Structure 1
Amino acid sequence: MSKKKAWFITGAGRGLGVDLTKAALAAGHQVVATGRNTDKVKNVVGEAENLLVVKLDITSSSDVEAAVKAAVNKFGRIDVLVNNAANFYAGYFEELSPEQIDRQISTNLIGPMTVTRAVLPVLRKARSGHIISISSIAGLVGQEYCAAYSASKFGLEGWMESLRFDVAPFGIKTTIVEPGFFRTALLEPESTSWPELSIDDYAECNAKIRPLWEAQNGNQVGDPAKLATALITIASEEEPPLRWIAGADAIASAEQKVAELQQQINAYRDLSTSLAYDDERNNKR
């Protein structure tokens, strides 16, 4: 068994957050399980000596500060932060209202930033820790009907890739997790919102693709319990991965993206490498 750690998990009231809370407890860790509705969190994760359930809306700065303070008061530290809470605004970009776009970014990007900002002083003081942010393969590969969601997850990944340089001197590790389709709660009505606007030009495409997305709910191939167990393993490693692509479907999409990037690089390599100042002009500067 790995060293006992104190985990701080957002979005622990449903989906992967539930499985991750249970897996961390089963592995002997201490867990702060957070969610907007603490009664719901308690109902789904149960009770345990090493468990603290705390109210947390990640878009509320006051909630975040209070939850982190409660975690430190209870366990004296935070070792692993899991930015898991998220939602999904599905639909074509033009049909998603500006307010929906704002809410998507606020939850999936600004929320994890706010939580991490509050936890980082605890990790820096300890000169150790691990920040895990749950992204998506949609944070690496753009997909139809995912304009808002991918924007939030691409942003999350860019922030995390850069954050690692900030925190590495303090012994803090970072990991981006890119799951494929797992049977979590993301496509359930509580997590998925559909466009508030309607544009005739998109009607035909909507009639085809929305039912496909709705049919995915409950039929995803990935097992979130296995994903949670794997994350416990990754968090126990001395050098955890900077990025972990989770699921065979996610690997296939990532490999296709890598191949396409290489093809695009090669197609314009000569043009791209011809853009520097020439020596004569450099000598005149």
Structure 2
Amino acid sequence: MKKVWFITGSSRGLGRSLTEAVLATGSKVVATARKPEHLKDLIERFPDQILAISLDVSDKTQIHTAVATAVKHFGKIDVLVNNAGFGITGAAEAFTDEEVRSQLEVNLYAPIEITRAILPIMRKQRSGHILQISSIGGRVGNAGLSMYQAAKFGLQGFAEALSKEVKVLGIKVTSVEPGGFRTDWAGDSMTFAKDVEGYENTVGSIKTFLSSGTFIPMGDPKKAAQVMIELVENPEPPLHLVLGSEAVQILKSADEIRKAEFEKWLPVSISTDHSDSKNFMDTEQGQEYLKAKGIKF
């Protein structure tokens, strides 16, 4: 039986590529977007498979209405893809309160709220797969992207914790972490905060790089879409999936730096235990904790 996908941000970029690829497999898609009229060609090609819904992901009422409409129309939701989002570049102190709130609302609060709205459906089904479209920026921080990456780091933590809650319910969770892909993320979708003196060689260089139009990402959205379709069909999907050679290189380098720093400061880290404390991991409670997490210590 063909799956029903619920995809946010379906009208452009990676979301558009994924929506089209899923429809081509014969599966059904609840395609949400701020401007669903941009999906007109897909509606004409796949009239019985697609349900296009107008959705501002920062509006809680619209979220719950969209989910209810989807279930009423297709009867179930097998796959949730929280893809909608946008970036902003600037120094942390330069962002306005509105810009900070907007980043967190769209890139963190919205996927959390959409997930919470769909979880009861998947729990009742005892099946489902949630794909949180994060970013390599949710694993590695960069100057100029502090607010965007704060949201993505938060989404990573949510995905990891959630996966441990819902595994027993037959629900899978994967954090998809792309590097640069040939979408308009760094183009029309990117916004910029005002310039602040002193950041010319850090934030300024990133802003110049992103706004120059010379950056040609390595990632192919169509290939990423096919990977995600295959991912959903895999009986044992990963919790984290990095996409793109660029992202792999960045993460490898960051992990090496983190490991070296961890080892360097390890004596300080363990110097803070109480003098009469016992190693928690050696206690019965600690062993149960490790067992529950599937950790060998």
Equivalence for 2:17: 19
> What is the DSSP-based 3-state SS (H/G/I as helix, E as strand, rest coil) of the residue aligned with 1:200?
coil
Alpha-carbon separation, structure 2, partners of 1:153 and 1:231: 19
Q: Which amino acid aligns with 1:33?
A: A
Equivalence for 1:276: 273
Alpha-carbon separation, structure 1, partners of 2:265 and 2:132: 34
Alpha-carbon separation, structure 1, partners of 2:165 and 2:277: 39
**1:222 has 2:235 as partner:** no
Equivalence for 2:245: 248
Equivalence for 1:69: 68
Match runs of 1:73-92 below 5 Å: 73-92=72-91
Match runs of 1:118-137 below 5 Å: 118-137=117-136
Deviation of 1:161 after TM superposition, in Å, equals 0.8
Alpha-carbon separation, structure 2, partners of 1:139 and 1:29: 30
Deviation of 1:249 after TM superposition, in Å, equals 0.7
Instruction: Work out which of the residue numbers 201, 205, 209 in structure 1 matches 2:198.
Output: 201
Worse-superposed segment, 39-48 or 155-164? 39-48
Q: Mark the runs of 5 or more structure 1 residues left unpaired by the alignment.
A: none
Q: Mark the runs of 5 or more structure 2 residues left unpaired by the alignment.
A: 280-297
The change in CA–CA distance for 1:270 and 1:280 in structure 2 (over 3 A counts) is closer
Alpha-carbon separation, structure 2, partners of 1:248 and 1:278: 47
Q: Which amino acid aligns with 2:178?
A: P
CA RMSD in angstroms, aligned pairs only: 2.0
2:143 touches 2:202 (CA, 8 Å); kept in 1? no
Q: Percent identity?
A: 38
Equivalence for 1:95: 94
Q: Which amino acid aligns with 1:214?
A: S
Deviation of 1:206 after TM superposition, in Å, equals 5.5
Give a deviation string over 1:43-84, Cα, whole Å, max 9, x none: 467531211111111111111111111111111100000000
Equivalence for 1:105: 104
Q: TM-score, normalised by structure 1?
A: 0.92
The change in CA–CA distance for 1:84 and 1:12 in structure 2 (over 3 A counts) is same
Deviation of 1:114 after TM superposition, in Å, equals 1.2
Deviation of 1:278 after TM superposition, in Å, equals 2.3
Alpha-carbon separation, structure 1, partners of 2:278 and 2:242: 46
Deviation of 1:239 after TM superposition, in Å, equals 1.2
The change in CA–CA distance for 1:175 and 1:206 in structure 2 (over 3 A counts) is closer
Deviation of 1:199 after TM superposition, in Å, equals 2.4
**1:261 has 2:230 as partner:** no
Give a deviation string over 1:4-45, Cα, whole Å, max 9, x none: 210000000100111000111112211111001111232467
